[in-house]
Amino acid sequence: MSSQFNRRDFLKQTGAIGAGVTLAELGHSAAALAQESEATTSEPDRKPLKIGFVGVGARGSCLLKILMELPGVEVRALCDIREDRVERAHRWVVEKSRPEPAGYSRGDTDFQRMCQTEDLDLVLTATPWRWHVPVCVAAMKAGKHAATEVPAALTLDQCWQLVETSEKQQRHCTILENYCYFRKAMTVLNMVRQGVFGELLHCEGRTQENWVAENWHFFDSDGTIGWVAEHLAQYNGNPYPTHGFGPMAIWANINRGDRLQTLVSMSSKSRSLANFARESFGAEHPLAQRGYAQGDANVSLIRSASGVTFTLYFGGQSPQPWSPEHKVQGTLGTCIGEMFDYRAGDDGWLQAKVFNQKEFGRWRNYWDYLEQYDHPLWKALGQTANRYRAWDWSGAYDYLMLGQLVRALQDGRKPPLDVYDAATWSAISELAERSVAGGTSAVDFPDFTNGKWKDNAPTDLSDV
Ligand SMILES: NC(=O)c1ccc[n+]([C@@H]2O[C@H](COP(=O)([O-])OP(=O)(O)OC[C@H]3O[C@@H](n4cnc5c(N)ncnc54)[C@H](O)[C@@H]3O)[C@@H](O)[C@H]2O)c1
């Protein structure tokens, strides 16, 4: 067993898999978090919301546990191709003194039987990428709302399937992009809305992960390939665009007054997956001998109809720290830095910094602006949300994101992130592949909203 597999086990134990960070790295101690949780507020009883959950692996388990913390949520059905995972999740639900959920584990498409049989309001999927659209479409066709992990879809055709099914069935389909709920990303959103940066000109976003250190569904110890590496072996573009793009899309009102128009993309050579296979299994192993299409780095340039430009970086498989850096630039000022809100070491890249032309001078620390511009959602629910950092690195953001989704459906309102967000942000994957394959040719974005982007009102993600 290689050191990589040991590291993966360690990350599994700390619950940090899929993110590349541990609680210690975040600068939070469990004791401090427990103390924080004592000061939380209680929420009123809410209307029941019946949920079916598909894919209770690493990520699904986190989401499921947080869902069960939300008032009114009833997890009525669980589906996973692995029966042991359905049983484990079933135990969690029952341990919370909730009614026993039905279990579905008869193979790859058993979610269809779940959608057709169960009385559910919402079906949520945290399966591998290629199942997101089949699950959402099955749910909506059976009259349920759908919510999907990221990316929502892998191809343009799949993006259209989501949009067309949602419109035809009049069901919501939301993307569970928790990076939009990072406190810094939301403070910046508030600053954008209050005009601190003036008119927006340019944004930069990144999906920088350390999937190789985590061995995030790359290679199993028996020498078989995992579902993430299998995808990276076949496609070369940006397979994971929404963490980087989601926050920028909200800042820049994409599909709500502006729309994405053109993309060009370029990939570096591909090295790290083959290197990792060679280190893990030896140079003669088939996984070391086969080709991997995805370049270690991919950069896309995107331009909107109103003339805002975006750069979007993907770097998933070469060794580098997880680091969600963003930039926003306007006619009056700019902010750059990590959007993740830990304070461990207030210097260097860990810090977001702000420049405001009215104040003149040089960079100022992001934290100087927090009190004035903290986002209303964080002001209202941040203390409660922070209790869930002890459960998982993203617990606080998942709590805010899922809470907003659940409350919207309970109240009969449209969820803040809609099917057009899901389709537009996810479309970057195939558009980047096309551009890379065409020698960095320019490709056009489809208008999934069919012109509605001109009149759609901006979202501030502030519903409490
Ligand atoms: N938002 C985030 O920060 C974040 C972090 C990690 C993962 N994710 C996303 O969550 C999703 C799952 O990732 P993961 O790391 O938990 O993967 P995983 O492989 O650990 O979990 C996927 C689960 O789905 C099950 N499954 C596979 N095919 C299925 C099918 N046809 N029907 C029902 N169940 C099926 C698997 O048995 C497994 O239990 C991915 O889309 C990933 O991109 C998001």
- Structure-block tokens of residue 53: 């959950």
Give residue 305 CA to ligand 1 midpoint distance, Å: 35
Give residue 56 CA to ligand 1 midpoint distance, Å: 7
pLDDT in tens, 248-269: 999 999 999 999 999 999 999 9
Q: Is the shortest distance between the CB of 82 and ligand 1 below 6 Å?
A: yes
Give residue 201 CA to ligand 1 midpoint distance, Å: 36
Q: How many residues does the chain have?
A: 464
Give residue 289 CA to ligand 1 midpoint distance, Å: 27
Cα 423 from Cα 421, distance rounded (Å)? 6
Which of 21, 59, 214 has the most ligand 1 atoms within 8 A of CB, as the residue to mutate? 59
Give residue 427 CA to ligand 1 midpoint distance, Å: 20
Whether the CB-CB separation of 383 and 39 falls below 8 Å is answered with: yes
pLDDT in tens, 359-384: 878 888 888 899 999 999 999 999 99
pLDDT recorded at residue 227 = 98
pLDDT in tens, 87-127: 999 999 999 989 999 999 999 999 999 999 999 999 999 99
- Structure-block tokens of residue 94: 């029952």
Which of 127, 148, 216, 323 has the most ligand 1 atoms within 8 A of CB, as the residue to mutate? 127
Q: Which protein residue's CA is at the shortest distance from atom 13 of ligand 1?
A: 59
pLDDT recorded at residue 4 = 31
Which of 109, 149, 182, 397 has the most ligand 1 atoms within 8 A of CB, as the residue to mutate? 149
pLDDT recorded at residue 343 = 57
Mean pLDDT of the chain: 90
Say yes or no to pLDDT of 13 above 50.
no
Name the region of 253 (left: φ>0; alpha: ψ -120 to 50; beta: rest).
left
Cα 67 from Cα 61, distance rounded (Å)? 10
- How, if at all, do strands 260-267 and 298-304 pair? antiparallel
Type of residue found at 273: L
Whether the CB-CB separation of 183 and 401 falls below 8 Å is answered with: no
Residues 6+ apart with CB under 8 A from 228: 128, 211, 216, 217, 218
pLDDT in tens, 166-191: 999 999 999 999 999 999 999 999 99
Cα 321 from Cα 19, distance rounded (Å)? 10
Give residue 459 CA to ligand 1 midpoint distance, Å: 28
Whether the CB-CB separation of 78 and 93 falls below 8 Å is answered with: yes
Cα 180 from Cα 40, distance rounded (Å)? 23
Q: Is the shortest distance between the CB of 226 and ligand 1 below 6 Å?
A: no
Cα 240 from Cα 356, distance rounded (Å)? 32
Q: Is the shortest distance between the CB of 253 and ligand 1 below 6 Å?
A: no
Reported pTM: 0.92
Q: Is the shortest distance between the CB of 83 and ligand 1 below 6 Å?
A: no
Within 80-120, residue ranges assigned H as helices are 83-95, 110-117
